[in-house]
Structure 1
Amino acid sequence: LKPGSTIGQTFVANFAGLNGVELALSQTKEQDNQTATGVLTLHLRTSPTAKEDIATASFPFSQVPKSGFYRFIFTPQKDSLQKYYYFSLEVQGGFPIEVGRAPREVYLDGSSYRNENPYDESQLTFLLDYEPKSLVNGLLIQGVQWLWYLIIGFFLFILPGFAILLWSKVKIFDTKNVLISETSDKQNESKPTNILINTIIVIGLSAGISVALYPLLFLLTDLVGLHLGKAYAWTPGIAAIIYLLFLTYKKKLVLSFSSFKIKLSPSFIFHPEVVAFFVIVLIVFSRFWVIRNLEGAMWGDGYQHTVVLQLFLNNHGLFNSWLPFSNVDTFTYHFGFHSAAAVFAWLTGLKARFATLWTGQLLNILAIIAIYPMAIRISKNRWGGVFAITIAGLLTPMPMFYTNWGRYTQLAGQVILPIALVVTWGLLDKNRKLNWREIIITGIIWAGLGLSHYRVLIFGVLGILAYLITHLSWKTWKPLLVNLAKISFTSGILFLPWFIRVFSGNIMHLFSAQLIKLPSQNPTLAQSYINIGQIDTYLPYWVWLLMFIGIGTALWQRKRWAATLAVWVLLLFIAANPAWINLPGTNSLSNFAIFIAAYIPAAWFGGMLFADIALTIKPKWIVNPIITLLILVLAIYNAPNRIREIQPTQYAMLTRPDVLAGEWIQINTPPDSVFWINSLTAFVNARVGADGGWWLPLSANRLASVHPLNTDFEQPLPQTQKEMDSRLAELLQIQGQVDAPEVFELMNQRNITHIYIGQQHGTVNYNGTTLNPALFVQSNKYHLIYHQDAVWVFEVKP
């Protein structure tokens, strides 16, 4: 930094009360040998284009450290939470000074500036300081917001399922252990039904039922031409409240929550459900904390699911046309997550990009709690359930890592899957004729699972097959198969309208082709499905070991449900690798999809094994304190590790600079503009975006050259367009021939009017050559119309 010039940086304040910037400064050799008399001044503004300072800070040039951080203190900005700022540093008199800097990719929400112009190849090395009181107040405000989202989540994803659970009068647990529902006999119908509730079991069961319910509501109303919008969000929760009030008013229901019957005593903190709630609080915090500064869901999946959600919101329900994002006119993709995100968006008023994020994190939490009922069932000990959710929530990378990928549809299916298995197995275990309520609730769960994720539905079907393998006998085959047929028929009828609709898209064709294809017919693609990388990416080695020891123990001790789960795990791996037994269908179920779901059986078997070990501890009075201490230590130690799993610099496409660029583009470019963006080849011959340019249809209401990938499941792009895009990407991105006549011929055919280079410069999930802004600047055939932070927008001259 020389006298008469400025160096600056844009950034986003992550907390309230911004009151200082620390910069890495060092003296130059020239300064070492002379007496400095100048002043360093930092100017804080709302943006690089703003002319007015909102705060300043200065200090004498002579106080510059030889090497280190120096703090510029200014008036606290009490409302700085999540705000975008720009600071510039200038020298008045004195001598040059060195300012530390870092590579561009280490910080997403800004870039360095020289003389008020972006220098987007680097970031300044800086730290932000906050006034403690304002910082705490800001965190409290965020905490209230999180609590509000949890309340809405409870209204949407717990209450409806709880009411249905009570209505169905389903009893699937031993009364000596936990009683979910007990139906009074005919002689005592006038007496109220007493229900002792293990709170966490009920939350898990209710979550699975609720998440399964919403896609069914969207589908059934769509069949009769109704698109209810916000009524989808309000109706189930209000109906549930009315039903519960009705039961209470008629004195037909007396609820007794075990969690709230615990006596306040020194042993209170050692109660399993108290410990479980503490673990859940840590899980909630870890899931919410990591997304508070994100601008949208991450990776390609995050973008695609946000597009589908936006279409749900635009159409007030299900849709056929993908306009304005694509000309595709069918929708056959599984939509359980999107229906959940839509009702959450309608109640919170959040934009689609934020509703996708927050719904995904709520389902991440519920997917862990949904593990609890089965864990209790196979371990017959509450500590088994507590340890199971600790494993899945805080001791393993999955499902926390789903946030990096935006893999929310599979997550929605995995909220329902454990509940589908535990309820169905529990009912089939009864070896009697199921009543119509039991059949309906089970049908709802399975139909909702099918609508939420097709592959996870296969997981569930294999779970039923595993149950038949381990439970079918000459004495039980008739009622078992009859009950299973009734459940299958009910869920099939509910799913049938969507199954018919799926034939209008490309998904069924793709699945059929995969199902009949042998690995030898497509070895390259098959190998890509088989390769899984390092297994500790999915679970730590010790958790894998715990799972396999648990499987061995279950088989040795002949625990029937646990053995059934062991058979289920085996069937999953066979289904993903049918070549093991010389069967087709190698690509229909990927190893990746199974390995990222391995936290489910790992938690179940780990919890069971943990419970078995706990029973051997003597004397008995010391069991709960020892287990409590162990679980709390593991949970608290590993919670920061889970938070560190989230890596926006590697996976986030949409950043604050992209959002600001989108707002500018929406105002300053024609509505019919089409933007060429950074892209890469994925899944053999598809193209996907690699930075914030892919988000332009959402951030700027302008078309990008790369469509959402899931439109290929509906109607594949014409081969000629794929070839044009591939060739244009080769010329512009790989070869850098931005002035070649062929480039303009192809851009004219594709109606390309602008070039967009996002903050991440095409490096998300890609290490190859990307669009080079310097080449477009040097050409006289492009006009630079926007350059702020690391975002560049060029207009193609006619």
Structure 2
Amino acid sequence: MLSNPAAQHPLVALSAGRRWLLSGLLLAAIVAWLPAGRVLLATGLWLIAPGYLLERSMPGPRPPWLLRVTLWVGISLSLVPLGYLWVTAVGGSLPAPVLIISAILLALAASWAAWRDLAGVQGQPSAATWLLMIVLAIGAWLRAEQIADLALPAWVDSVHHALMVRVAVETGRAPWTLTPYLPVVEMPYHWGYHVVIAAAWHLSGGALPDVMLWSGQLLNWLQNVAAAALALLWWRRPSAAVVAAAIVGCISWMPAYYVSWGRYTQLTGLLLLAALAIAWQQWLDSTHRRERTGWLALAALIAAGLSLVHMRIFVFGGALLAAQSIVWSLRQSRRTIIAHVAQALLAGIAAVALAGPWWWLLLRRVLVPAAAGAQSLTTGGSYAQLNYDLMWIGPNEWLVALALISGAIGVARRQAATAVLMLWVGGLAVLTNPWLVSYLAPPAGLALLIYSLTQRKWLWSGVGVLLLAINPATVRLPFLWLLPVDIAAISLFLPLSSLISGGVALIWPAQRRWWQIGGTAVLLGLALWGANQQRAIVNPITVLATAADREAIAWVAGNTDPTARFLINAAPWLPGVARGNDGGWWIMPLTGRWTSTPPALFVYGDAASVQATRQRSQQIIDYGNGQAIDLERLIATEQIDYIYTSPKGPLRPELFASRPGYEVAFAEGGVVIYRVAPDRR
């Protein structure tokens, strides 16, 4: 009698799902030997494990795996900041040992849960899944290639993100207070991203710039997964998910271009937005009470986390939920709608309560001063205008055209997904351009007035008259500083990819083999072409620091007193806020030393310190513009110990080379740090 081959080979007897799990764990063990691999694994653990363990406990059937992965990320990005929030609120902290032990327990629990969940998974992935994996792999290679030449994260946001991560690591708390580095207390600036990266830094070790760069590209790559999940949510077709992933990962310049700005908080917020949309749609579509309750609770949790990560995307998420709810309500009875509205209000209250300490801080630091007239929530000028270079960056003209064509196809075929996406984009346009309300309200009022008169519903006639009164001649709505139009423009890759992928899925004859082969070849060709175009996507103008700057900062950390004070280069940025223009600006977040131009978060300090910082930076800027500035007096007044010079700024090496009292302490790659003699300060 023949023996059973499976009995002789235990690995063969395992389910396909368990074999995939073991392969993944083996790959993780190999990757962990690399510094970048440790960053990716540590960040991935915090992004996946908490959400997976919570989501798998939900009642009812599970959605497709793409939606589940996006939900895991969104839930995790909510749980970690909420943990920091409440620990901070009660006066506690999360030191490194607690985080490391928590991470080990999470890894063990998630591995054991996955082992059990994958026991019954058999068979091989479908052709669409393999194609999606190839597209995601191209996107992963591209994200790694894009940061290959960066010594430090780019541009302005990265500098203050690094300082906030440093504070979160050192205190084990939410970085509301930036002392002793800056005189900033109870800062109303979103911080959810920073505590997640702080937790990852505790696990991975290494240098903070590397942690930020690699974790940032992981967040950027996950946008491909989120876009694929949203396309699958709207269209229910795997081909739509593949097309959306290819567009966001390889063809559209957004969000890949975010690396040029260090816009990591918005990336994180958009991942939460995708998870929130999925949970909300699952709630709307659920038919069993227990399932509805679970999904609504999950949506409230994710909404609370989103308010900690990025308030602008929180508002954009509200617009998406409104669009989903409006389209859903068109097919529901009045009784069902009223019941859901009541439940949604309760979920909103729960979300605010979950993030209660943060909302209370915002109320005290932002809303109350605005109500008292001490500060304004409105803005104007260039800040409120659309930057057309951003709107039409890369292939955006083609993407917008394709999205409009796909939208027309969806409307012709009466697709609810098309209505949701178009309503969402319209909502974003109105939120970031409030003046549109005065033009949209009169036509809506006229239509409502005609309806009320013909149907004899007199209550609605009053609403129609009110809307008619809101017109450009009577109402002028201001722009809000929270919602600049550029933020919406650089977020359009999500609705655009969903619309285009839906149009392709609606018209593509998927049953014909040769069409499948041809479509696959075209899609992969476009993905590779787009990836090649984006390899050098980092804008050189936004690259402030070089490898020489990084060496100089390492020297500062190891060879200067922690209380040393540095005079560094400065350049104009936003009104009233200067920025650094070389690696000297990174001295404070990476070494803790004082710099004459600090990270931009100094604006949240008291009025006197803000004014002093502005004047100090302006003197360096004025000096670079040729004005007569007494640098000797500035150095003495500010008790400067070192001067960080480079070829990029007003403070150039040759300026101090021949002056007595200035000794070269470090010189490498054009960066020269001068030590100031005691009699000069």
Q: Compute the TM-score of the two structures, normalised by the length of structure 2.
A: 0.81
The corresponding residue for 1:297 is 153
Match of 1:750 in 2: 638
Is the CA contact 1:379–1:608 (under 8 Å) kept in the aligned structure 2? yes
| Superposed counterparts of 1:303-452, under 5 Å | 303-430=159-286, 433=289, 435-452=292-309
Q: Corresponding residue for 1:219?
A: 85
Aligned match for 2:47, one of 146, 157, 174: 157
Q: Hey, what does 1:487 align to over in structure 2?
A: 347
Whole-angstrom CA distance in 1 between matches of 2:189 and 2:87: 18
1:228 maps onto 2:94 in alignment: yes
Q: In 2, Cα distance between the equivalents of 1:709 and 1:318?
A: 18
State the partner residue of 2:612. Answer: 721
The one-letter code sitting in structure 1 at the alignment partner of 2:47 is F
Q: Displacement, 1:595?
A: 1.1
For 2:525 and 2:415, locate their aligned partners in 1 and report how far apart those are by CA, in whole Å. 30
Measured in 2, the distance between the counterparts of 1:663 and 1:147 equals 23
Whole-Å separation in 2 of the counterparts to 1:602 and 1:322: 39
Does the C-alpha gap of structure 1 residues 423 and 716 become closer, same or farther in structure 2, counting only changes over 3 Å? farther
| Larger helix percent | 2
Corresponding residue SS for 1:331 = coil
Amino acid at match of 1:609: G
CA–CA distance in structure 1, aligned partners of residues 390 and 358 of structure 2: 38
Change (3 A) 1:201 1:626: farther
Matches of 2:196 and 2:432, distance apart in 1: 28
State the distance in 1 between where 2:52 and 2:86 align.
Answer: 21
Helix, strand or coil for the counterpart of 2:392?
helix
- How many Å separate the matches in 2 of 1:511 and 1:255? 58
- 1:158 counterpart SS class: helix
Distance of aligned partners of 1:715 and 1:556 in 2 relative to their CA distance in 1, 3 Å threshold: farther
Q: Which of the numbers 187, 209, 213 marks the counterpart of 2:75?
A: 209
Please name the residue that 1:169 is paired with: 59
> What residue identity is the alignment partner of 1:637?
W
Within 1, Cα distance between the matches of 2:244 and 2:648?
41
- From 587, 608, 611, give the equivalent of 2:502: 608
Q: Is the 8 A contact 1:228 1:316 kept in 2?
A: yes
> Which residue of the partner structure matches residue 502 of structure 1?
362
Q: Could you say which structure has the higher strand fraction?
A: 1
Name the aligned partner's letter for residue 209 of structure 1. I
**C-alpha displacement of 1:339:** 1.8
Q: Relative to 1, partners in 2 of residues 1:534 and 1:499: Cα closer, same or farther, differing over 3 Å?
A: closer
Query: For 1:229-268, what aligned pairs fall within 5 Å after superposition?
Result: 229-230=95-96, 231-232=98-99, 234-235=101-102, 238-239=105-106, 241-242=108-109, 245=112, 256-257=120-121, 261-262=123-124
Structure 2 CA distance, aligned partners of 1:551 and 1:378? 13
SS at match of 1:600: helix
* 1:789 corresponding residue in structure 2: 669
My pick for the range that moved more, 713-722 or 770-779, is 713-722
CA distance in structure 2 between the aligned counterparts of 1:152 and 1:711, rounded to whole angstroms: 31
When structure 1 is superposed on structure 2, of 620-629 and 729-738 the one drifting more is 729-738
1:397-445 deviation digits (Å, cap 9, x = unpaired): 1111111110000000011101101211221233664654333322211
Distance 1:243 1:144, change over 3 A: closer
Match of 1:674 among 565, 580, 592: 565
Determine if contact 2:327/2:420 at 8 Å carries over to the other structure: yes
Number of residues of Structure 1 aligned to a counterpart in Structure 2: 606
- Residue 652 of structure 2 corresponds to residue 761 of structure 1: no
Which of the pair has the greater relative contact order for Cα pairs under 8 Å at 6+ separation? Answer: 2
Question: For residues 149 and 256 of structure 1, do their structure 2 counterparts lie closer, same or farther at Cα, with a shift above 3 Å needed?
Answer: farther
Q: What letter is aligned with 1:628?
A: T
Residue 775 of structure 1 corresponds to which residue in structure 2?
Answer: 655
Query: Could you tell me which residue of structure 2 aligns to residue 664 of structure 1?
Result: 555
Partner of 1:185: none
Structure 1 unaligned blocks of 5 or more: 1-139, 172-178, 181-197, 763-769
What amino acid sits opposite 1:688 in the alignment? R
Residues 279 and 143 (structure 1 numbering): CA distance in 2 closer, same or farther, change over 3 Å? Answer: farther
Instruction: Please give the secondary structure, in 1, of the residue aligned with 2:488.
Output: helix
Q: How far did 1:229 drift?
A: 2.9
Structure 1 window deviating more from structure 2 (325-334 vs 159-168): it is: 325-334
Indicate the residue corresponding to 2:316 in structure 1: 459
Superposed, 1:30-179 pairs within 5 Å as: 147-169=37-59, 171=61, 179=62
Cα deviation for residue 574 of structure 1 reads: 0.9
Which moved further from structure 2: 692-701 or 703-712? 692-701
**Which residue of structure 1 lines up, in the alignment, with residue 544 of structure 2?**
653
Over 3 Å counting, the alpha-carbon distance change for 1:449 and 1:674 in structure 2 is same
Going from structure 1 to structure 2, the CA distance change for 1:777 and 1:523 (only over 3 Å counts) comes to same
Matched, 1:702 2:593: yes
SS in 2 for 1:793: strand
**What is the alpha-carbon distance in structure 2 between the residues aligned to residue 700 and residue 725 of structure 1?**
21
Cα contact 1:756–1:794 (8 A) shared by 2: yes
- Structure 2 counterpart SS, 1:644: coil
What do residues 742-761 of structure 1 show as CA deviations (whole Å, max 9, x unaligned)? x4444433333332124x62
Q: Secondary structure at the match of 2:255?
A: coil
How far 1:277 moved relative to its partner?
0.6
Given residue 242 of structure 1, which amino acid in structure 2 is its aligned partner? A
Matches within 5 A, 1:561-572: 561-572=417-428
Tell me, yes or no, if the aligned pair for 1:507 and 1:714 is still in contact at 8 Å.
no
- 1:637 is matched with 529
Amino acid at match of 2:203: L
Matched to 1:749, the amino acid is T
**2:481 is the counterpart of 1:587:** yes
1:475 Cα deviation after fit: 4.5
Structure index of larger Rg: 1
> So what's the TM-score if we normalise by structure 1?
0.70
The Cα RMSD (Å) is 3.0
Deviations 1:429-486 (A, max 9, x none): 3366465433332221111111110100000111122234333352432122022122
Q: Which residue of the partner structure matches residue 132 of structure 1?
A: none
CA apart distance, 1:211: 1.8
Displacement after TM superposition at 1:662 (Å): 2.4
SS at match of 2:355: helix
Q: Distance in 2 between matches of 1:723 and 1:790?
A: 27
Report 1:685-696 matches (<5 A): 685-696=576-587
Residue number in structure 2 paired with 1:130: none
Matches of 2:603 and 2:618, distance apart in 1: 19
Q: 1:712/1:785 Cα in 2 relative to 1: closer, same or farther (>3 Å)?
A: same
* Aligned residue number for residue 732 of structure 1: 623
Give, in angstroms, the shift of residue 690 of structure 1: 1.0
Kindly provide the CA deviation profile for residues 322-348 of structure 1, in whole angstroms up to 9, marking residues without a partner as x: 134212232332122112211211111
**Residue 786 of structure 1: SS of its match in structure 2?**
strand
8 A contact 1:330–1:714 mirrored in 2:
no
CA contact (8 A) 1:170 1:438 kept: no
Letter in 2 for 1:756: Y
Tell whether 2:458 aligns with 1:596: no
2:427 corresponds to 1:537: no
Contact 1:443/1:488, CA 8 A, preserved across alignment: yes
Change (3 A) 1:437 1:663: same
* Offset, 1:541: 1.4
Q: CA deviation at 1:168?
A: 1.7
Can you list the C-alpha shifts for 1:41-68, whole angstroms capped at 9, x where unaligned? xxxxxxxxxxxxxxxxxxxxxxxxxxxx
In 1: Cα distance, 2:675 partner to 2:110 partner: 59
Is this contact kept in 2: 1:336–1:413, CA < 8 A? no
Deviation (angstroms), 1:674: 1.6
What SS class does the counterpart of residue 735 from structure 1 fall into?
coil
Q: What is the percentage of aligned positions where both structures have the same residue?
A: 22
Shift, 1:570, TM fit: 0.4
Change (3 A) 1:653 1:466: same
2 CA distance for matches of 1:431 and 1:381?
A: 22
2:123 maps to amino acid: K
Decide whether aligned partners of structure 1 residues 513 and 585 sit closer, same or farther in structure 2, where only a CA change above 3 A counts.
farther
Structure 2 alignment gaps of length 5 or more: 1-29, 438-475
Name which of structure 1's ranges 582-591 and 666-675 shifts more when overlaid on structure 2.
666-675
Cα drift, residue 499 of structure 1: 0.8
Change over 3 Å in CA distance of 1:248–1:393 after alignment to 2? closer
Three-state SS of the structure 2 residue aligned to 1:471 is helix
CA distance in 2, matches of 1:483, 1:515: 35
